[in-house]
Structure 1
Amino acid sequence: MRYAVMAPVAAGVTARPDWMGEFARHAEACGFESIVAVEHAVVVSRYSSVYPYASSGKMELADDCDIPDPLDLLMFLAAHTTRIELATGVLVLPNHHPVVLAKRAATIDALSGGRLRLCVGMGWMREEIEACGAEFETRGRRADEQIDVLRKLWDDRSPTGVDHDGRFFSFAGAMTYPKPARPGGIPIHIGGHSRAAARRAGRRGDGLQPLGVGGAELQGLIDLMRQEAEAADRDPDALEVTLGHLVSAITTEKAESLAARGANRIVLQTTPTTDLAAVKDELSACAQRLGLAGR
């Protein structure tokens, strides 16, 4: 089992450089596998879209909460660490042009020594996606093509570049460097709670991060991902499953229970507080409880 830590966006500290730099260094020293950064490019006040992960239909974050660009935040954290992996969770894919995203992600991966992992989702806030210039209704089909474009641009090393002629994106002879540091490019996981997310993970992704589901519904999504992988002649055993939990509540017994459901990684949320010393103590206690190989 691998354990990731979410950047504590709810505490309103993720745009504070000294706070985040020390947080990242401590998470790395404790032995956590990765740091995960969330995204909202823009939050539209008085949005009418329904947040699917709370009974209120509204996300827990205040509209004016600091939510740094996750890729820029991860690049900053890369400069403050040496080993810990850097992940998005979840990058709202419709907000991004894939040609530009391919460059930005490959740059982080190259400069961090191959430490980037992308977890992407389709987004739930119509107002945000439309403000970024994409159609809400076609975001799923657009995302499939975006993933294909990312992989094409990362994989191509021909002297004439790569061509793409799709419904949403088109280019010819495109060459983008640097390439990702790791062979095979940057892992792309799919985040979400829908069957469409599970199908996309099986057909195109490197893993699934189910959000807000459990029990039979969770197992159904994992099974569907594996079925879709097999149908696409892909190895379902190569696909990862990432689940969530709280730093304060996770135990080895609970981790074993999640592993039995198919989890390879657990993303942990710290208690939302601006008290850095308290958060560091919480991470240290969690790492000791889980037997991580940190100090």
Structure 2
Amino acid sequence: MRYSVMAPTETGRAADPEWIAAFARHAETCGFESIVAVEHAVVMSQYSSEYPYDSSGRMELADDCPIPDPLNLLAYLAGCTETLGLATGVLILPNHHPVPLAKRLATLDRLSGGRLRVCAGVGWMREEIEACGTDFATRGRRTDEAIDVLRALWAESGPEGATHDGEFFGFSGAMSYPKPVRPSGVPIHIGGHSKAAARRAGRRGDGFQPLGLHGDALQALVTEMRRAAEDAGRDPHAIELTLGHAVMKIDPARAAKLESAGASRIVLAGSGATALQQQCDELSACAERLGLTGPRPGPAASGAATAGDAR
């Protein structure tokens, strides 16, 4: 089991360079696999969209909470750490044009030594997605095609370059370098709570991260993902399953229960404490409960395979 920690954006300190660097270095020292950065390009002071992960319909972050760009944040943390994995959760893919995004992701992965993992989703805030210039109704199709574009540009296509002719994006003879460290590209996991997200993970994902679900609802979505993978001729068991829990509550028994549900990684959310020392103490106590043993080799160093290697 691998354990990852969320960058504590709710503290308002994720854009404080000394604070977040110290947090990330401590997570690495404790033996956590990776740190996860959230994304919101903008948050509207008033929105009618319903946040799907809280009964209030409003997300827990304040509208004016500093939410740094996740890729810039992870690039900064890559320079502050040595082995800590770098992950998004969730990168709102329809907010990005996949051609420049392919270059940004490959560059970050290459410069960090292959430490990047992308968890992508379609987004829930209509107002944000429209502010980024995308039709909210097409965000699912755009996300599917964007994943195809990323993989086309990351693949070694030879001197003729990459070609793509789709509904939203098109190019011919495109040369995009550097390439990611792994020949299969940066691992792309799919985050979400819907059947569409589960099917997307099964058809295109290296991993699946169901959000806000547990019990029968969770198992139904995992089953949907695996069925979609089989229909696409892929091995459903090669798709990593990542589940969530809390730093303050996770223990070996709870971890074993998530493992029995199929999880190979658990992303842990903190308490929201604004004091750095308290956050670090919580990580230390969590690591001790789970029996973590300090820094682990990064993906490139360990030669670990991803689901994409099975494609």
TM-score normalised by length of structure 2: 0.94
Matches within 5 A, 1:1-295: 1-294=1-294
Partner AA of 1:212 in structure 2: G
Partner AA of 1:281 in structure 2: D
- Once residues 272 and 142 of structure 1 are traced to their aligned partners in structure 2, the CA distance between those partners, rounded to angstroms, is 34
- Once residues 170 and 82 of structure 1 are traced to their aligned partners in structure 2, the CA distance between those partners, rounded to angstroms, is 37
Displacement of 1:287 after TM fit? 0.3
Displacement of 1:156 after TM fit? 2.9
Post-superposition Cα deviations, 1:159-200, rounded to whole Å, max 9, x if no partner, equal: 121111100001111111100012211100000000000000
Partner AA of 1:39 in structure 2: E
Partner AA of 1:59 in structure 2: M
Percent identical among aligned pairs is 67
- Once residues 86 and 219 of structure 2 are traced to their aligned partners in structure 1, the CA distance between those partners, rounded to angstroms, is 27
CA RMSD of aligned residues (A): 0.8
Question: What is the aligned residue count?
Answer: 295
Post-superposition Cα deviations, 1:59-87, rounded to whole Å, max 9, x if no partner, equal: 01111000000000000000000101000
- Once residues 46 and 274 of structure 1 are traced to their aligned partners in structure 2, the CA distance between those partners, rounded to angstroms, is 26
For residue 138 of structure 1, give the secondary structure of its aligned residue in structure 2.
helix
Post-superposition Cα deviations, 1:85-117, rounded to whole Å, max 9, x if no partner, equal: 000000011100000110000000000000000
For residue 256 of structure 1, give the secondary structure of its aligned residue in structure 2.
helix
- Once residues 185 and 32 of structure 2 are traced to their aligned partners in structure 1, the CA distance between those partners, rounded to angstroms, is 23
Displacement of 1:44 after TM fit? 1.2
Displacement of 1:58 after TM fit? 0.4
Question: Any gaps of 5 or more consecutive residues in structure 2?
Answer: 296-311
Displacement of 1:157 after TM fit? 3.5
- Once residues 44 and 135 of structure 2 are traced to their aligned partners in structure 1, the CA distance between those partners, rounded to angstroms, is 16
Partner AA of 2:240 in structure 1: E
For residue 137 of structure 1, give the secondary structure of its aligned residue in structure 2.
helix
Partner AA of 1:120 in structure 2: A
- Once residues 192 and 69 of structure 1 are traced to their aligned partners in structure 2, the CA distance between those partners, rounded to angstroms, is 20
For residue 190 of structure 2, give the secondary structure of its aligned residue in structure 1.
strand
For residue 266 of structure 2, give the secondary structure of its aligned residue in structure 1.
strand
Question: Any gaps of 5 or more consecutive residues in structure 1?
Answer: none
- Once residues 182 and 150 of structure 1 are traced to their aligned partners in structure 2, the CA distance between those partners, rounded to angstroms, is 14
